[in-house]
Amino acid sequence: MTKAQLQEKYKEWNRNIGTLNNRANDAFDELKDLNAEFGTGERWCDAFMNLKGLIGTEKEFRALTLYNQIQQARGQRDSLHDLAIATNNFEI
């Protein structure tokens, strides 16, 4: 793979991560709303605290799904960031 091809793949991955990050933000907002309505009544700034407030409720499965989406997107974003740093943004 050439340097140009590698840079193009990086840009494509970055766009996909941006889309996932937007979905994670939407999932986080929904998780906060669910906890406010069906859980502890709070909208925490921490995804886990919102999830914790919904364990044992009728919305537990939905909360777990949302939490998983958030964690997955964050993990992919962090991986891309680490790769960019390791390759100096593909200035190899």
Cβ neighbours of residue 67 closer than 8 Å, sequence gap 6 or more: 27, 31, 47, 48, 50, 51
CA-CA distances (angstroms) from residue 14 to 20, 21, 51, 63, 66? 10, 10, 28, 27, 22
Give the pLDDT confidence score for residue 65 in this predicted structure.
97
Burial of 14 (0-12, 13-18, 19+ CB in 10 A): middle
Give the pLDDT confidence score for residue 6 in this predicted structure.
79
Every domain of the chain and the residues it spans: 3-86
Q: What is the pLDDT along the chain (92 residues), one digit of tens a residue?
A: 787 887 788 788 778 888 888 999 999 999 999 999 999 999 999 999 999 999 999 999 999 999 999 999 889 888 887 877 877 766 65
